[in-house]
């Protein structure tokens, strides 16, 4: 049955046991969790790391002189170097902890945005999540920055000719673009984007919220200037995200938020800033969540991105083979390279009805506009249903999805 061109299959089903929630029942059925692109489930090492910290080793960081504070600071800072290694960042000081990708992008829009001059432009694409659209609209309205949109093709790939056009006048200060679409699954050729941006005198930010779940990231190889991701999609907890930026840029940028931890000295008249990265980490950070993220990264690395990518490529191939068996089903987009995300519509059945009825079969999918309304309009749709895969997803679960969709369809026609 397998295509000769299909990648070598890697069976990760034994890893399902690491995720306690996967043995839960929903409406009396086995949970089939196909909504990992919204937020992934958590493996035991993450759960244990956070619980252990709360049970045995917890205090505020960077300020206590006592044993608990020092040890917790060490644990927190150890994750910074883990993240740097994960991204192949030149220095761990270039790793800024935020609360999610959205905050990381807002940080860049605020602080790198402060370095842009009125009349300069920021480029995003037609397939951005609202998180990589609204902060730039706010910057545009605040600072007189032009916001330009690079088009996508009908297949759902970035239109590089269109990107070249919006870069051509040399006025672009930053290209901020998704590395993998949360709707289409499109994996963007980031290096090509970076090369084009740099040739036009622009910096480049990649939103890696989806891509880092499915692909090894090397910010040096991508020649990125900024890269952001969030912990909760990478099997870590919610409430922690990461901004990586080149030191020269982070150093030149003013702080994002003011408060404790981000200062060097403070008087009633003025304050001076702490060095990067602390300059951008105002207030008590998400200590437990950072520790949880560290455990998640260790977990992912113990499996290896190569195995994860091959497993997910197999799932995507299986889903693309089986989903068209459902009468009336149409897969949205046909990108050149697709991560573990497939959006679809079904003739005569609204995506919300699909999601509600799938839920009754224990199958969790997302339905709606996926925080990407302009993309929906570009595609001529108001909503889609979306199945997304993780390292714990199985072919059998995709078969349950297909069978459930086929039964749902009979209700409506």
Partner 1 sequence: MNDLGHDLYHQTLMARSRAPRFAGVADAATGVGEGRNPMCGDRVRVSLRCVEGRLTEVRHETRGCAICQASADLMAEALSGAARDDVAALTSEFEEVVTVEGATTVRFMMFRPLVRQKSRRRCATLPWSALAEALAEQGVKTDG
**Which positions lie near partner 1, rule CB under 8 A?**
27, 349-353, 356-357, 360-361, 367-369, 373, 376, 382-383, 404, 407-408, 411-412
Residues composing the chain: 413
Q: How far is CA 72 from the centre of its chain?
A: 27
| Alpha carbons within 13 A on the beta-carbon side of 54 | 10
Nearer to partner 1, 187 or 346 (CB): 346
Is 243:99 a contact under the CB 8 Å cutoff?
A: no
Shortest Å distance, C-beta 384 to partner 1: 10
What residues are paired with 388 via a beta bridge? 35, 341
Shortest Å distance, C-beta 181 to partner 1: 19
Nearer to partner 1, 11 or 24 (CB): 24
The angle at the Cα of 278, spanning 93 to 210, to the nearest 5 degrees, equals 65
Shortest Å distance, C-beta 275 to partner 1: 43
Shortest Å distance, C-beta 220 to partner 1: 40
Q: Does 371 participate in catalysis according to the annotation?
A: yes
Nearer to partner 1, 77 or 353 (CB): 353
Nearer to partner 1, 167 or 346 (CB): 346
Peptide bond into 277 cis (omega under 30): yes
- Which residues, including other chains, have CB under 8 Å from residue 5's CB and lie 6 or more apart? none
Nearer to partner 1, 211 or 361 (CB): 361
Shortest Å distance, C-beta 357 to partner 1: 5
Nearer to partner 1, 261 or 373 (CB): 373
Shortest Å distance, C-beta 306 to partner 1: 38
Nearer to partner 1, 388 or 404 (CB): 404
The angle at the Cα of 98, spanning 173 to 285, to the nearest 5 degrees, equals 145
Shortest Å distance, C-beta 372 to partner 1: 12
What residues are paired with 32 via a beta bridge? 363
Nearer to partner 1, 205 or 405 (CB): 405
Which candidate in 12, 37, 365, 371 is catalytic?
A: 371
For the annotated catalytic residues, the residue numbers are 371
């Amino acid at each position: 049955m397998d295509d000769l061109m299909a990648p070598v299959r890697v069976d990760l089903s034994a890893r399902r046991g690491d995720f306690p929630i996967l043995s839960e029942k929903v409406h009396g059925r086995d949970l089939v969790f196909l909504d990992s692109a919204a937020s992934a489930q958590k493996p035991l090492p993450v759960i244990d790391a956070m619980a252990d910290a709360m049970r045995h080793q917890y205090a505020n960081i960077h300020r206590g002189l006592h044993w608990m504070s020092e040890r917790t600071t060490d644990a927190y800072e150890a994750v910074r170097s883990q993240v740097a290694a994960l991204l192949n960042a030149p220095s761990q000081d270039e790793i800024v902890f935020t609360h999610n990708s959205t905050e990381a992008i807002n940080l860049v829009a605020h602080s790198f945005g402060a370095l842009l001059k009125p009349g300069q432009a920021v480029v995003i694409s037609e397939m951005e999540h609202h998180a990589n659209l609204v902060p730039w609209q706010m910057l545009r309205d605040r600072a007189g920055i032009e916001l330009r949109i690079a088009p996508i093709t009908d297949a759902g790939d970035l239109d590089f000719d269109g990107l070249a056009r919006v870069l051509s006048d040399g006025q672009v200060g930053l290209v901020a673009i998704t590395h993998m679409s949360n709707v289409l699954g499109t994996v963007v050729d980031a290096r090509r984007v970076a090369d084009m941006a740099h040739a036009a005198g622009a910096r480049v930010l990649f939103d890696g919220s989806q891509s880092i779940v499915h692909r090894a990231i090397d910010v040096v190889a991508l020649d990125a200037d900024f890269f952001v991701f969030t912990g909760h999609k990478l099997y870590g907890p919610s409430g922690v995200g990461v901004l990586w930026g080149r030191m020269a840029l982070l150093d030149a940028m003013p702080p994002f938020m003011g408060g404790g931890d981000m200062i060097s000295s403070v008087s009633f008249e003025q304050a001076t800033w702490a060095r990067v990265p602390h300059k951008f980490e105002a207030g008590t950070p998400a200590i437990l969540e950072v520790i949880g993220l560290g455990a998640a990264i260790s977990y992912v690395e113990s499996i290896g991105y190569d195995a994860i990518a091959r497993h997910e490529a197999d799932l995507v191939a299986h889903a693309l083979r089986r989903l068209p068996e459902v009468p009336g089903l149409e897969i949205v987009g046909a990108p050149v390279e697709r991560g573990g995300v497939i959006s679809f519509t079904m003739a005569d059945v609204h995506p919300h009805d699909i999601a509600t009825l799938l839920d009754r079969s224990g199958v969790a999918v997302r339905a709606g506009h996926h925080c990407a309304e302009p993309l929906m309009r570009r595609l001529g749709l108001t909503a889609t249903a979306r199945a997304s895969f993780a390292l714990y997803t199985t072919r059998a679960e995709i078969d349950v999805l297909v069978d459930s969709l086929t039964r749902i369809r009979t209700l409506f026609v």
